[in-house]
Amino acid sequence: YNRVMIWIENCIPNTDNVQIRVRLKLNGAYKTGYDYAYHGYHRYSGSGTYSVVQASGDDRFQFAQNVGNATGEGVSGTLTFDNPNKTDWAKTVRWESQGMSNAGDITNSVGVAGGSTADGKTALTGVRLYTSSGNLGTISYSTYGLKV
């Protein structure tokens, strides 16, 4: 497939007020080095300002932040990968998430990330979502392959 989209529904962490983070599996291993570049922003219904997240060398990228775990809180959204199987194309991903924060605000996050610069021209074979503290509690997801 030329494009792969992962739809994430009702991701609720065990720990309150955490980031949902993403790592990519390239060349047979999840990349944990400081190889990720990304830029995104987070918006909250309780504020008129944007929170910008960016890095040119990080060990992951943020899918969502300030995610709550009380009833009605959590996050849903999409991760979209272009050319995940190509070996002559660096891996890129776009994300969008929305949900309820730990403070009860409606949240929205949008961004773009570049996969590992060390192995960016190898096939993408996995995606890991994890939290900044604690574990993921519940999560539902579907994966779609698109031919362009």
pLDDT in the model for residue 117: 52
* Cα–Cα nearest to 123, from 14, 25, 6, 2: 25
E-strand ranges in 1-148 read: 3-13, 18-26, 29-30, 36-44, 50-58, 61-67, 74-82, 92-100, 106-114, 124-131, 136-146
Rounded distance, CA 65 to CA 74, Å? 10
**What's the confidence (pLDDT) of residue 119?**
56
pLDDT score, position 136: 94
What global pTM score does this model have?
0.90
148 residues of the chain, pLDDT tens digit each: 889 999 999 999 999 999 999 998 887 889 888 888 899 998 888 888 888 888 888 999 999 989 999 999 999 999 999 888 888 777 789 999 999 988 888 999 999 887 655 555 788 889 999 999 999 999 999 999 988 7
